[in-house]
Chain A
Amino acid sequence: MPPLHPTQVLPGCSAVPALPTGPAAQKRPEALPPLSLLPPDPAEPDPRPRPRPRRARRPAAPTRPAGERARPRAPPRAPPRAAGRRSRGGAGPGCSRPRGAASVPARALRPPGPARPPQRGRAMSLVAEAFMNQLAAAEPWPENAALYQQLKEDQILLSDNASSLAVQAFLQMCNLPVRVVCRANAEYMSPSGKVPFIHVGNQVVSELGPIVQFVKAKGHSLSDGLDEVQKAEMKAYMELVNNMLLTAELYLQWCDDVTVEEITHPRYGSPYPWPLNRILAYQKQWEIRRKMKAIGWAGKSLEQVLEDVDQCCQALSQRLGTQPYFFNKQPTELDALVFGHLFTILTTQLTTDELSEKVKNYGNLTAFCRRIEQQYFEGHDKDNSGTAAPRSAKRSLLR
């Protein structure tokens, strides 16, 4: 059976330029995925998805009332107040509401404070930000680098756990020490709204793609030994995993009613008190379902999704073959990503076992996961309280 290429599995991936011919090229007549699918550059991280369109947030030129000292940060003029309104909400000392009148809380309708004036490089253009990133890249990897994710025991969901494990695996493969910090608000702390994110020195970078670029700028890279063809192939497979496996995980978590009710909602809202836990869970569900509708997955049934997962695993299995890693001798970020997702699927107990059964059908994939776990994670079990500890026992995500 001819090997499945990512472009054959991914619907809608077409019109790509041809690869130069070479020993690897004979297997695939089609070629590079469209440039837009490539991992974004860290200088332009993904904007956090917002429910309504926002204008670009460019801080305005500073307003300088006469005589204010020309410090780098020109303080904003105290905004003029409408009658009866106050400048700052409850954090300020005390609160005075107009007595007697039926008043909306005074801070309701004050003219909002002025936009942040630029200072000391804060109003950075993209070029300047890229330059700052380059400067930061020159610093060595610090000892106290931290990776943030949601609470391991009670809160984290399948897809987030997979992404976090992928990043941890990648950093282990690069031999860069990082400690895992669990915070209930990790998703909101992240600059792009997605976990995990790493806090290295002064920089905050989220998601595997930008993290790979960031680490590369610091001089560590796993894919240096690959030629152009292989790099393109690796990117294609990474896109396959992101578009298939990750989306299937999200679908299962948020669009399958049984899983939603029994696992997702209780876990997602667990750090918050009532009624906030219900509100946040429903808000997130609405957001994910809208995204599914946009990419055309809303109409799919669970069987179709599992079928897609099976096809994806088949492609990966065929690419892996009998090699230890996807690109023979050395692990690359693709290995980290595949390990993250497959290991999480295998070790997570959901309402049904169908998802993990699909992966178990491919022996070389399970062997691959076990190999990476033994090599990169077992040795570190003793000195961690924070690593995701992908140990052997089936970790249950059921409450």
Chain B
Amino acid sequence: VCEIMDEVMRKSHEAREKLLRLGIFRQVEVLIDTCQGDDALPNGLDVTFEVTELRRLTGSYNTMVGNNEGSMVLGLKFPNLFGRAEKVTFQFSYGTKETSYGLSFFKPQPGNFERNFSVNLYKVTGQFPWSSLRETDRGISTELNFPIWKTNHTLKWEGVWRELGCLARTASFSVREESGHSLKSSLSHAMVIDSRNSTILPKRGALLKINQELAGYTGGDMRFLKEDFEFQLNKQLLWDLVFSASLWGGMLVPIGDKPSSIADRFYLGGPTSVRGFSMYSIGPQNEGDYLGGDAYWAGGLHLYTPLPFRPGRGGFGDLFRTHFFLNAGNLCNLNYGGGPRAHLQKLAEYIRWSYGAGIVLRLGNIARLELNYCFPMGVQSGDRICDGVQFGAGIRFL
């Protein structure tokens, strides 16, 4: 009887988790009781789920103040539009410099939340001072997610009207040449295998993400094939030490004779990738504006330890870790007429690397803050470095 009871409790807990994950209930309570009533089975159990639904329409209003920009963000959400956990979200951000908005519709397959489908409509603007570039994207994308065995796949079609412009009058001519409008229509596929126990500061497990994008065969005037992958391995050593290794890489191959666009290329450097260098400030550049590259790789080795002397143990102190890191990476263009062997050779020479130590703060299960002291090495002329203390915040770190 005890085993059956355990089994029931475990399964009802799983069911509760699944219901909560739908995102339509404010809370779910489970009551397990012996069967009662006229049609009660002998030794039967009644499992009752008491749920409180979220409101039909919720709204949010935030103001954000960043560096030299303030913005107001308005959000509206229908958490359960047609009764089967369809979600419609509208977000609008009005800032002193730029305005963005997005409308999104999400529908999971009933009974199988892992399989879902979403349609997004958006207008996004971004300013990239490292390239003196301003980008405005207006687009629509449809996405299908489904699991296959242990992997998670995403198929997506995206159509984007992209407008590039110079951020300042002193932008370099290479960036000026990229200004204008273009239309990208691309199909992409991503595969994720994630066996880590946590997204931020995992203690064990591995992550493999492979992403490919083919643009141009469904319309538009951008034609390329883009591949990139991300790999991470974590292992816990003795005494709460965690060793982590990660490797990123990617390649962009333009199809046809049009060269790749600055908005599609890869960028390297900064507190979230190769530490010790300024944000996206490695690689080909023209008059101080970084143009990105067609191929890159980056790797990191980390050792995470708890804070020395473990202050605040069991509470706030557990959010902090110290880490020692070694990062390396390289970025280059592929348009100089060599073959694959020459590409590999080019990626292997002039490697930028850095080492250092710092403190990591974990924010919920989504983001992390880092404060590091870095020693950049292998610096090439044209790179911009940030040796000494560097601060970083983000959700995806090398």
The smallest beta-carbon distance between A30 and chain B, in angstroms, is 37
User: What residues on A are CB-neighbors of B96 within 8 Å?
Assistant: 55
Q: Does A302 contact B (CB under 8 A)?
A: no
Contact in complex: B281, A75 (CB < 8 Å): yes
Contact in complex: A189, B176 (CB < 8 Å): yes
Contact in complex: A91, B177 (CB < 8 Å): no
List which A118-149 residues lie within 8 A (CB) of chain B. Answer: 119-120, 122, 124
**Interface bits A57-78 vs B (CB < 8 Å: 1, else 0):** 1011001011111010101111
A102 (CB) vs chain B CBs: closest residue: B106
Contact in complex: B124, A108 (CB < 8 Å): yes
Which of A108, A116, A122 has the most chain B CB within a 10 Å cutoff?
Answer: A108
- Bound: A340/B169 CA distance, A: 28
The smallest beta-carbon distance between A278 and chain B, in angstroms, is 11
Q: Does B10 contact A (CB under 8 A)?
A: no
Q: Does B390 contact A (CB under 8 A)?
A: yes
Q: Does B195 contact A (CB under 8 A)?
A: no
User: What residues on B are CB-neighbors of A45 within 8 Å?
Assistant: 169
Q: Does B168 contact A (CB under 8 A)?
A: yes
Q: Does A28 contact B (CB under 8 A)?
A: no
Q: Does B53 contact A (CB under 8 A)?
A: no
Contact in complex: A81, B262 (CB < 8 Å): no
A129 (CB) vs chain B CBs: closest residue: B169
State how many residues of chain A have any CB contact under 8 Å with chain B: 72
- Bound: A76/B131 CA distance, A: 12
User: What residues on A are CB-neighbors of B180 within 8 Å?
Assistant: 184-185, 187-189
Contact in complex: A113, B89 (CB < 8 Å): no
B269 (CB) vs chain A CBs: closest residue: A75
The smallest beta-carbon distance between B299 and chain A, in angstroms, is 12
User: What residues on B are CB-neighbors of A187 within 8 Å?
Assistant: 180
Selected contact of B129 from candidates A76, A91, A101, CB within 8 Å: A76
User: What residues on B are CB-neighbors of A68 within 8 Å?
Assistant: 386, 388-390
User: What residues on A are CB-neighbors of B373 within 8 Å?
Assistant: 67
Q: Does B68 contact A (CB under 8 A)?
A: yes
The smallest beta-carbon distance between B301 and chain A, in angstroms, is 18
List which B112-153 residues lie within 8 A (CB) of chain A. Answer: 113, 116, 118, 120, 122, 124-130, 132, 135, 137, 141, 145, 152
Name which of A31-39, A82-90, A230-238, A388-396 contacts chain B. A82-90
B79 (CB) vs chain A CBs: closest residue: A102
Q: Does A266 contact B (CB under 8 A)?
A: no
User: What residues on B are CB-neighbors of A189 within 8 Å?
Assistant: 176-177, 179-180
A107 (CB) vs chain B CBs: closest residue: B124
List which B67-94 residues lie within 8 A (CB) of chain A. Answer: 67-69, 71, 73, 77, 87-89, 91, 93
List which B19-36 residues lie within 8 A (CB) of chain A. Answer: 21, 23
Q: Can you name 13 extra interface pairs (CB under 8 A) apart from A81-B367, A92-B280, A272-B181?
A: A57-B168, A68-B390, A81-B395, A83-B363, A83-B367, A85-B395, A94-B211, A94-B250, A101-B23, A103-B118, A111-B71, A113-B129, A115-B127
6 contacts between A and B (CB under 8 A): A79-B393, A82-B64, A94-B248, A104-B122, A116-B167, A272-B221
